[in-house]
Amino acid sequence: MEFLSYMVVLKTGLCGLSFTYYIRKHFNTDSWAVLFFALFYALSGFLAAYNWDVMWLDVVVLAPVVILGLEKLIYEGNCRLYCITLALSILSNYYLSIMLCIFLVLYFIVLLIARDPKDDRSSAALSFSWLNRLKNFYWRAIIRFVLYSLLAGGMAAILLMPEFAALKFTEFSDINFPKKADVYFPVVDMAARHFFNVTVETGLDHWPNIYCGVAVLILTPLYVLQKNIPLREKAPKLALLGFMLISFSTNILNFIWHGLNYPDSLPARQSFLYIFLMLVLCYEAFIHIKEHSGREILAVFSGALAFLLFCEKVVTDDSFTELCFLVTGIFLVLYAVILYFYRTNEKLPVVFVIVGLMVTGTESGINTYLTSVPTVSRDTYLSNYDSYQILTDRTVRNEENDFFRFDKFARRTQNDAMLIGFQGSSYFSSTLNSLVSNFYEKYGMKGSRVNYCFDGATPVTAAFLANRYMLYTLDRGYDTVFELADTEGELYLYKNNYALPFGYMITETDDTELDTLFVNADYMRENIHEEDDDEDKDLNPIERQNRLVHKLGIPQDVFLLTDINSYGSDADFYVPESAHYYAYTANTKIDDIEMNYEGKSKTFSQIKKKFILDLGYHNEGESLNFNAKNNESLNLNVYKIDTAVLDKFITRLGEQTLIVNDYDETSLTGSINVNTAGQLVMSVAYEPGWTLFIDGVETDMELFADTFISVALDEGWHTIELKYFPKGLIPGIMTSILSIGAFAAICVLQKKKNTPQKA
């Protein structure tokens, strides 16, 4: 945690450094005033909201340098800075680099419009007429921009090509372009988010985090009014700034900026580029401040104050408080005084620098402190960490390194398995395999475009996931499904009595419907996002599991529907028989459901995720009361698990199983003795890169339940080997090598061309 904290601080500082570097080079200045604007960039609303998302910060650091490189490329023909830094940006985080690349295209157009071709004084240009120089400049600029942008992408191909292959199996590759335009909120409400202490948005609302100092409310109008900045330069930059502001609230533009997808929370991720452009324009207004009269500054200040008072009356969003408007007004007064004082002095005195740093540092620092997303303490984050590791390591040794999965409750994150170091069945990633999340959602576990979670699992789904153990911070007591296997510190390890091994055979019987359960992997790869023609789509997840069990040859139901007394948002359930119970409601308007029983209570949250509620084991005669906290109708169905049918189901699938001999992160080997021919199913989801070998021969794969790798096996002993190698990695490596070679060759040729020849 300390490393991550220091890294965030370091990269935040680097954001200020790179912005300082841009301003100094772009404006050819060494003014101390640059630090004021660097503070606003480094401690902006974007960084306050997303500084914990460390994988994004490199692009925010590199963006000013990439943009400076673009200017050098267009105006000077110098390709090195642009090509190298853009490649580094794409390598560090391809996702935010999508937004940076969109901005570069737009900014390139701005540069072409803003550039006066008469300023091109190269010897080649002087030999042409003015019109020819104009055409020559544009064509050279376009060719350079396209060439070096492609080379930068080519240098990053070592990651881009495998990422492209992986993205095809995510929900984000299914592009559904908006059919009609929609506006999320008024422009005035967005502009007001420049105020001090506006609560940052990290959820599903689309509000942009664009705070970058209250001073911009004065400096932006001054930039508009500045007469010494050419209109051909000022107009396109202001147009780009306005376009980006409108993009935050327009669904189609928002969709395009985010790589032809809507963000799943953490909205307006291109805000850092808007902030960059805003601060650059404001700095340019600042260096021209002496050209404005005191009356103009006072008029602009009065207009900013009037806008503040207007927003206080009309803006009703919960992100704003009375303190927000009051403190913004105080800082407006301070900046107006500072600008007026600076305007009347020829030089930049030490007092001005100190006061300016105190005011800007205080404003941006306090705003970051008040609005930045909080984190947990080390003790909370690493609670029971050692006990988890000891317990899981001991269990793996006792199981002789067989492959199986754990899952834990009282989960800190979806990626706790990575934190602790065990095979898990919960995962968070924007590039996760959609086959898995679809399987989870279909059968009543938590799933979404960016995560899937073991919550909602039953013995049936746990069996398919090879989930053998559950970790708890409390004693579950007696249960027919789980039994206490071990303890360590405050932890309890429960074993799933109905687990399946990593690989098992499904054989044909009179009751099986194997044709409906398997699909060719090649077909799935090409039709990953086709509409699912599901014959069981009208069933709830528990009934769907019963149907799946039927298809596998067990005609009886594992889950038996029981009676429950419902009264709108309340329900009473009187346990008719000692057993393990599950429940489900299709009402996704419910926020939380509270269950009270025998003097105890348990709350189920995030009901909108449509997952199965594990009510646990209850004795005959117990009374369970359920309540929807937001008074929505429960519409709750409760099911008893029939352990006799469950045992029959597990026994049938466990008759012929795979013996795992060895495995690591990218391979697994095993063997199986097949007595009855059928389909071997393995608890690993298919995605491009997996190769299956049967008895040493590469073999085509099929998918069980549209998810798990399977293959048909005849009778006899078979060796099984799974190997993973990222699809696209070899072409990516070759493309990167060729691109780096081409770039190096161009640099060498340019150097030779520019080196004077000796007589």
CATH number among 3.30.70, 2.60.40, 1.10.3470, 1.10.8, domain 651-724 = 2.60.40
Q: What is the model's pLDDT at position 346?
A: 60
Domain with CATH 2.60.40 in the chain: 651-724
132 CB-near residues (< 8 Å, 6+ apart)? none
DSSP collapsed to 3 states, 50-70: HCCCHHHHHHHHHHHHHHHHH
Interval 92-118: pLDDT, tens: 999 999 999 999 999 999 999 987 655
Residues 531, 170: Cα–Cα separation, whole Å: 15
**Of all residues in the chain, what percent carry a pLDDT higher than 90?**
72
CB 364 within 8 A of CB 372: no
* 708 phi and psi angles, rounded to 5 deg: -90, 140
Q: What is the model's pLDDT at position 619?
A: 94
Cα distance from N-terminal residue to C-terminal residue, the chain: 63
Distances (CA, A) of 679 to 328, 440, 459, 686: 68, 22, 21, 15
- Decide: helix, strand or coil at residue 518: strand
121 has a pLDDT exceeding 60: no
Provide DSSP, 280-341: HHHHHHHHTGGGS-HHHHHHHHHHHHHHHHHHHHH---TT--HHHHHHHHHHHHHHHHHHHH
Q: Which has the closest alpha carbon to 425: 435, 410, 436? A: 436
Return the structure tokens found at 639: 């099911």
Place of tokens 């078979």: 718
Place of tokens 């429950």: 564
329 has a pLDDT exceeding 80: yes
What H or E segment, with its residue span, contains residue 407? strand 405-408
Tell me whether residue 183 is exposed, middle or buried, using C-beta atoms within 10 angstroms of its C-beta: 0 to 12, 13 to 18, 19 or more.
exposed
Helical H segments across 77-129, by residue range: 80-92, 94-114, 123-126
What H or E segment, with its residue span, contains residue 597? strand 592-597
Interval 359-383: pLDDT, tens: 999 999 999 999 998 878 888 888 8
What is the mean pLDDT of the segment spanning 206-218? 96
- Mean pLDDT, the chain, integer: 91
618 CB-near residues (< 8 Å, 6+ apart)? 575, 578, 579, 581, 597, 624
CB 498 within 8 A of CB 648: no
CB 134 within 8 A of CB 118: no
715 has a pLDDT exceeding 90: yes
Residues 313, 392: Cα–Cα separation, whole Å: 58
DSSP collapsed to 3 states, 553-571: CCCCCCEEEECCEEECCEE
Residues 728, 730: Cα–Cα separation, whole Å: 6
CB atoms within 10 A of CB 102: 17
CB 710 within 8 A of CB 702: yes
537 CB-near residues (< 8 Å, 6+ apart)? none
124 has a pLDDT exceeding 50: no
CB 510 within 8 A of CB 685: no
Q: Which has the closest alpha carbon to 206: 247, 248, 245? A: 248
Task: Kindly indicate the confidence band of residue 750, based on its pLDDT and cuts at 50, 70 and 90.
Answer: confident
Q: Which has the closest alpha carbon to 191: 230, 229, 151, 242? A: 242
Task: Kindly give the pairing relationship between strand 467-472 and strand 405-408.
Answer: parallel
Provide DSSP, 666-731: SEEEEEEEESS-EEEEEEEE--TTEEEEETTEEE--EEETTTEEEEEE-SEEEEEEEEE--TTHHH
Q: What is the model's pLDDT at position 340?
A: 86
347 has a pLDDT exceeding 70: no
Least confident of 150-159, 436-445, 472-481: 472-481
Q: What is the model's pLDDT at position 316?
A: 83
Residues 551, 464: Cα–Cα separation, whole Å: 14
Return the structure tokens found at 575: 């346990």
Interval 167-200: pLDDT, tens: 888 888 777 889 899 999 899 999 999 999 999 9
CB 67 within 8 A of CB 104: yes
Q: Which has the closest alpha carbon to 348: 674, 72, 29? A: 29
DSSP collapsed to 3 states, 652-683: HHCCCECEEEEECCCEEEEEEEECCCEEEEEE
Q: What is the model's pLDDT at position 409?
A: 83
Q: Which residues pair with 428 in a beta bridge?
A: 451
Residues 494, 560: Cα–Cα separation, whole Å: 24
CB 466 within 8 A of CB 683: yes
